[in-house]
Structure 1
Amino acid sequence: MPMQSHAEYLRSQALAVMRAELSEVIDQRTIGQERYVTAIKSLTLSRRESVTEPCACVVEPSLVVVVQGAKQLLVGDHAYAYDIDHFMITSLDIPASSQVLQASPDKPLLGLVLKLDVGLIAELISQARLPSPGKCTAEASVGLGTISLALLEPCFRLLALLNTPADIPVLAPLIEREIHYKLLKSDLAARLWQIAAMGGQRQRIARAIDLLKANYAEPLHMADLAAHVQMSTSSLHHYFRQLTAKSPLQYQKWLRLREARRLMLNEGMDAAGAAFRVGYESPSQFSREYGRLFGAPPKRDIESLRQTGEVGTVA
């Protein structure tokens, strides 16, 4: 066997072993539940035992790793498929749909989501004096990278801390720092440099999103939103759509409908009450737009969610 191919074989074997170990840990932690919130604040585990249709979800700035199965994230007209060979990073709170492509009861989809710390990325770039990976031409808020042993190993050590909760406050931040550093050494380094760059359009859009999230029930005035983030109205609309696949008005509508869904599902509010709470003046308009987003009228959708327990998640 040639030396290069032998080295590749050893790397693939090591990756397979690490994936198997991660799969075992996540499998044991998630039995009977699709989403497991761990004692590490930034870390969530997930499990799905069947393929699904696209399900509306919220995507925070995160690293998403799948160790068994396959999934895709739909943002606007773009589909980002990720599996055991590819990890995903997202850099903004974006509206999307998540779809399980490969899963079964015997071999469920298993994965983890780690929230990204953009400030930590910028700090590591500065402190480590990493060479610039070159310009990233992509403007989307989602990127796919190649899984490596260097990335999976600290992920495994982070999960291992769940067995020793007393160690989490001291060791978890160190391992999370290592994971961020390994991402800066991955094939998505240029994308991460772009995310961490200060003063760019991405930061302005992120501030616009924060303002919309804080005031989703209030009428939207584009001129005020543009002034808040120091952009022209046309530039705000252009970059907002480019990075989130939605206009600011569509994004606000998405926020309103998701909050209304939460109010009905978790607080027992009826559709009309939820509609008024999130800023709608017309219950009929609310019902139409709710059905377009979630695929069913409010009452039927909530009944289905209560029966299945299904919620939108990323991993």
Structure 2
Amino acid sequence: MTSKQTLTESVLAIATHDGIFNTQIDALKLVRRSNVSEPMPCVYGLGLGITVQGGKRVTLGEDIYDYAEGQTLVASVDVPVVSHITSASIQRPFLGLHLCIDSKVLGQAVANMDFSSQDCVARQCAMSVVDADEGLLDAINRLIKLLNEPKLLLQLAPLIQEEIVFRLLQSPHSYQLRQIVTAGSASQKIAKILYWLKQNYKDDFSIVDLAAEAHMSESTFRQHFREVTKLSPLQYIKNLRLQEARQLMLNQRLDANTAALQVGYESASQFSREYTRFFGRPPLKDINALRLSNAFI
């Protein structure tokens, strides 16, 4: 049995019905869907996604990433995307997994490796799709198998997760991941700003302030920010606010006005207009539709 077949069986054993399955490994989630889905705006953070069975499409700005069975998608920074499942059926459901990557583990791994023989690419980008090799699939399989060994889970899971990071750094994902932890690189400076925005998106601040924090001129900052995220800084901030408001309405059952205030909007009518343009439906209709379809589970 190949590593890919083993992984399929392991995911099916846990994901016995449609949904998102959290595991005892906090960083690891499994997904099963029996139907293709509508495009759904969401935020991808630093992590590894694998399509185990079926197919998925992720759109970042004008860039489209299709990744099918046995392919990996890595996001190196927090980016707002639109994703949907493109291949799934009851007989052959979509199966996927997502593993969050610890930025400190990534930084330590980069510091301990020699990349002098690897080619560098000039293009900055937050995402990439690559075929999974046998070594990576084997490591993922061993990580999932640890879920059946609770006495060893706490000690061994971090070691295998570290191995997975090392393997990604030896793959074509390497340059993209290295840049966000390489001190002084434009990608690392933008990654720091994106992390700050994730914590402070509801506050008032200017693009001049963000550029100064990144030690860049305003024009250079805007250029590098768009290269990485495919959005302008203002578009990115608006996207974060709308995504968070949607989650507050879904998970905490807040009304639209309360959610708008909590994410930094001063005008409820402006929030409603921008929400409708972004998600395609007014807040109340959108939330009701999501609950009926279970699309957010």
Whether TM-score is above 0.5 comes out as yes
Given candidates 10, 20, 36, the residue that maps to 2:21 is 36
The equivalent of 2:217 in structure 1 is 232
SS at match of 1:268: coil
- 8 Å CA contact 1:220–1:249 kept in 2: the answer is no
The equivalent of 1:202 in structure 2 is 187
Counting only pairs closer than 5 Å after superposition, residues 125-140 of structure 1 correspond to structure 2 as 125-140=110-125
Q: SS in structure 2 opposite 1:129? A: coil
- Aligned residue in 2 for 1:165: 150
What count of residue pairs does the alignment treat as equivalent? 297
**CA spacing shift, 1:132–1:41, aligned 2, 3 Å:** farther
Which has the higher mean CA deviation after the structures are superposed, 209-218 or 75-84?
209-218
Q: Which runs of 4+ in 1 moved over 4 A?
A: none
Quote how far apart the aligned CAs of 1:126 are: 3.5
How big is the shift at 1:38?
1.0
Give the counterpart letter for 2:292 in structure 1.
Q
Q: Which residue in 2 is equivalent to 1:105?
A: 90
Residues 1:128 and 1:245: Cα distance change in structure 2 (over 3 Å)? closer
Distance, in Å, in 2 between the alignment partners of 1:255 and 1:188 is 25
Bigger-Rg structure (1/2): 1
Tell me, which stretches of 5 or more residues in structure 2 are unaligned? none
**Partner of 1:196: helix, strand, or coil?**
coil
Shift in CA distance, 278/193, structure 1 to aligned 2, threshold 3 Å:
closer
Deviation at 1:128, TM superposition (A): 4.1
* Inter-partner Cα distance in structure 2 for 1:281 and 1:121: 39
Q: What SS is found at the alignment partner of 2:289?
A: helix
Query: Larger deviation: 236-245 or 215-224?
Result: 215-224
The answer for the alignment partner of 2:134 in structure 1 is 149
CA contact (8 A) 2:50 2:70 kept: no
Aligned counterpart in structure 1 of residue 65 of structure 2, from 66, 80, 84: 80
Amino acid at match of 2:67: Y
Aligned CA distance change for structure 1 residues 277 and 128 (closer, same or farther; 3 Å)? closer
> What is the identity, as a one-letter code, of the residue corresponding to 2:191?
A
C-alpha distance in 1 between matches for 2:282 and 2:166:
45
1:286 corresponds to: 271
Q: Which shows bigger deviation, 265-274 or 70-79?
A: 265-274
The answer on whether the counterparts of 2:53 and 2:70 sit within 8 Å (CA) in structure 1 is no
Question: Which one-letter code corresponds to 2:279 in the other structure?
Answer: F
Task: Label 1:207 to 1:190 Cα distance change in 2 as closer, same or farther (>3 A).
Answer: closer
Match of 2:243 among 235, 258, 263: 258
Q: What is the CA–CA distance in structure 2 between the aligned matches of 1:140 and 1:62, rounded to whole Å?
A: 14
Q: What one-letter code is carried by the residue in structure 1 that aligns with 2:51?
A: V
Q: Is structure 2 residue 204 aligned with structure 1 residue 219?
A: yes
RCO higher in structure (CA 8 A, sep ≥6)? 1
Q: Which amino acid in 2 is paired with 1:272?
A: N
Superposed counterparts of 1:83-98, under 5 Å? 83-98=68-83
Match of 1:4 in 2: none
One-letter amino acid matched to 1:255: L
RMSD: 1.7
Shift of residue 246 of structure 1? 1.1
- Match of 1:110, as an amino acid? L
- Matched residue type, 2:85: V
Separation in 1, partners of 2:289, 2:182: 43
Gaps of 5+ in 1: 1-13
Indicate the percent of aligned positions where both proteins have the same amino acid.
38
Quote how far apart the aligned CAs of 1:94 are: 0.2
Match of 1:193 in 2: 178
- 1:108-119, aligned counterparts within 5 Å? 108-119=93-104
State how far apart, in whole Å, the 1-side matches of 2:146 and 2:33 are: 23
Q: State the 1:28 CA deviation.
A: 2.2
Query: Please, which moves more after superposition, 254-263 or 114-123?
Result: 114-123
| C-alpha contact 1:84 1:147 (8 A) present in aligned 2 | no
The farther-off stretch of 263-272 and 51-60 is: 263-272
Question: CA-to-partner distance for each residue in 1:222-273, whole Å, 9 max, x for gaps?
Answer: 1122222222211221111111111111111111111211222222221122
Q: Tell me if structure 2 keeps the 8 A contact 1:136–1:194.
A: no
2, 8, 20: which is aligned to 2:5? 20
Instruction: Name the aligned partner's letter for residue 252 of structure 1.
Output: I
Q: Distance in 1 between matches of 2:240 and 2:195?
A: 11
Contact 2:126 2:228 in 1 (8 A): yes
User: 1:258-308: CA deviations, max 9, x gaps?
Assistant: 121122222222112221222222222111111122121100011111112
